[in-house]
Amino acid sequence: MIHKSTLTPETARTRLLQNIERIVGIESCALKTAAGRRLGAALVATANLPATANAAVDGYAVHADFLAAHPAHAFTVVGRASAGHPFSGITARGKAVRIFTGAIMPDGPDAVAMQEQCRVNKTDGTIQIDTKLKPGTNSRPAGENIRIGETIIASGTKLGPADIGIAAAAGHAAVSVCQRLVVGLVSMGDEIVELGTDPAFGQSFDSNRPMLRALVTADGHEVRDFQIVPDDADALLAVYREAFASCDVVISSGGASDGDEDHTQKALRALGAELVFWRLAMKPGRPMAVGSLGKKRLFCLPGNPVAAYVCYRLLAAPALTVMAGGKANAILRIPVRADFDHKKLPGRAEYLRVRLQADATGETVMRLHGRRGAGVLSSLTGADGLIEIPVENAGVSKGDYLSFIPFREAGL
């Protein structure tokens, strides 16, 4: 049974995304520097690409119906067409034009015979074609790539290499993009110290902020770092206020549970933030809170690094995507067979780090990777993704098919 004060991850995600909208403005960006930016308005084709029909192979351009009626005909070659150098004039029926891949189709012919299918008579300048052709054979039609008036790239798309390529092909030297979402990062706890300092006995280096910086930056947002906050409610409130003065979103890690030294709940109330949710029916990641300040959001992630990572990927990242002008896509869940046994309590979802490997039969299976604790950061390095064990399950038995959620780093 789910505890009445906790939410399932899916319910939390739905609640989180209900009242979120794009909060960033639009600006122009040169295409050559637009990779990773989100498109601010749909890119619509203003012309066909290619603008005219062109050859898909090297060969000879002819009239398909004439060849069908005269299969033994010797076509006189009347000219040559190559990419960037079209043949001018009208090609009469029964004549051929030597053509190369990418060249504009000459006026008249509607098919191309591959050069391997032609017998060339260099003495009299003719060819005979040893195959049948249909209109359009080996000819790319105008607009095959892009048709005038169609959407090339949807608004909100995070521009990748293929998007940059097609925008360039369509002639866009600059595009309208969403301004970057500004995300402030805060770590909390007397037990953590900055890199480059000497930790005292019982202290350790802050790994969450560098990890979250990498996650947030990879998602295309701008990051602003704030200092480590000691376990003090007033100090945390002061840093939150400072961060919200210059950021659209603040993400803190640590201090999110209900212990004596966990102060995020008190700080949320002092900020006047509306509590979206607090505590999740999931492991790792139970002590997560989200607060709303108008259109801005505060994400209080757990201090354990694996929990912080999982909560960011499953819940914070989709919300930031919407605020940055994108669309929160459904989580990619792929059914894969588990190759291990694991018990858990019903009433909460559980996410374990796994690798995909082939078993003795060659089938791809999920195998546990690393140690299981929420503080074991090494279980993330080298993992292909997460196995999602549903709320109602009492565990996993070897052979069960459950959802595999891939890390994007594991893809092509």
Indicate whether 90 and 35 sit together in one domain: no
Q: Decide the pairing of beta strands 75-81 and 126-129.
A: antiparallel
Q: Which of 299, 323, 347 is the last residue of a domain?
A: 323
Check pLDDT > 90 for residue 412.
Answer: no
Indicate whether 295 and 381 sit together in one domain: no
Q: Is residue 310 part of a domain?
A: yes
Residue 132 is predicted with a pLDDT of 95
Indicate whether 389 and 268 sit together in one domain: no
Indicate whether 189 and 165 sit together in one domain: no
Q: Which of 112, 140, 168 is the last residue of a domain?
A: 140
Indicate whether 194 and 307 sit together in one domain: yes
Check pLDDT > 60 for residue 260.
Answer: no
What is the domain count for the chain?
4
Neighbour count for residue 284 (Cβ, 10 Å) = 24
Q: Is residue 4 part of a domain?
A: no
Residue 34 contacts residue 309 (beta carbons within 8 Å):
no
pLDDT tier, 258 (very low <50, low <70, confident <90, very high otherwise)? low
Indicate whether 222 and 288 sit together in one domain: yes
Dihedral over alpha carbons 15, 21, 24, 29 (to 10 degrees): 110
Please give the helix or strand (H or E) that residue 211 lies within, else none: helix 208-218
Indicate whether 214 and 105 sit together in one domain: no
Q: Is residue 279 part of a domain?
A: yes
Residue 2 is predicted with a pLDDT of 60
Q: Is residue 1 part of a domain?
A: no
Q: Is residue 174 part of a domain?
A: yes
Indicate whether 316 and 217 sit together in one domain: yes
The arithmetic mean of pLDDT across residues 377-404, rounded, is 95
pTM of the entire predicted model: 0.88
Domain containing 20 equals 9-24+180-323
Angle of helix 233-244 relative to helix 264-271, nearest 10 degrees, comes to 50
The CATH number covering residue 88 comes to 2.170.190.11
Mean pLDDT, the chain, whole residue set: 94
Indicate whether 13 and 59 sit together in one domain: no
Residue 80 is predicted with a pLDDT of 97
Residue 296 is predicted with a pLDDT of 97
Rounded CA separation 293/316 (Å): 15
Nearest CA among 252, 263, 258, 214 for reference residue 377: 214
> Which of 53-57, 108-112, 190-194, 354-358 shows the lowest per-residue confidence on average (mean pLDDT)?
190-194
Rounded CA separation 61/358 (Å): 51
Residues written for the chain: 412
Residue 175 contacts residue 39 (beta carbons within 8 Å):
yes
Can you say whether residue 102 is alpha, beta or left, with left for phi > 0 and alpha for psi between -120 and 50 degrees? left
What secondary structure letter does DSSP report for 288? -
Indicate whether 170 and 216 sit together in one domain: no
